[in-house]
Amino acid sequence: MNIPAQKWMTWKERAYGLFLKYRHSLLLLYFLIYLPWFSYLEKTVTSHFHVIHMPIDDQIPFIEYFIIPYFLWFAYVAVALLYFLLKDKNEFCRLCAFLFVGMTVFLVISTVYPNGHHLRPVVFERDNIFVDMVKGLYLTDTPTNLFPSIHVYNSIGVNIAVWHYAGFKEKKGLRCGSAALMISIVLSTMFLKQHSVFDVITGIVFSVFMYTVVYTRDLRTGESEASLKEQVRHI
């Protein structure tokens, strides 16, 4: 079917316009680096690694029901990225900076310091659908490449983005729901024996550091947000 030249140009112009509007989506190309690198680590770091363990790990019980928030993490991060991609370029760029820097640090640490744990239960005391889901997780995700916990770090990053976004200031239910989901995801990493408490602590500490870098300063000028707000008041 032949498309008239005028309509063809209009389509091209619209496509180009959309590209210009959402060109910040190119940041997501980072996953072309992250996923192959992470997959390589998962395949190569299997038995010879530094064991991550804290005494408190042995006191935390295995609770299979936490598989639900653990899996919700994938949607939590994906929906947040998509929402800010479409709604607010600056918040999207901040979130990407927060997530991607942390994920890169995680990859570098796992590469130069192979690590893992021996916390997973060998025998399950119960038999139910949630245990089956955990078994499926264990088959696809090795107990290696652990800290800082990306589940913990990214969950905190998304929650920070939700609470920082001006468009959500009046949506207390959404903000509190995000915080509750974040907390449940953090807990799930320990109750499913996916991570040591050490991984959780390092994820939290690093997220606090990255917050001061990404969310207290303007990414373009480097000035603190407090300073910028003060300048606006005097205009």
* pLDDT at position 22: 74
What angle is formed at CA 72 by the lines to CA 114 and CA 209, rounded to 5 degrees? 55
Q: Which residues are bridge partners to 115 per DSSP? A: 50
- Domain extents in the chain: 64-113+125-235
Q: What is the mean pLDDT of each run of 10 residues along the chain (235 residues)?
A: 56 68 86 94 85 94 96 96 93 95 95 92 91 94 90 97 93 95 97 95 95 78 51 40
pTM score, two decimals? Answer: 0.86
Residue 114 φ/ψ, nearest 5 degrees? -55, 130
What is the rounded CA–CA span in Å between residue 193 and residue 93?
33
The torsion region of residue 117 among left (phi > 0), alpha (psi -120 to 50) and beta comes to beta
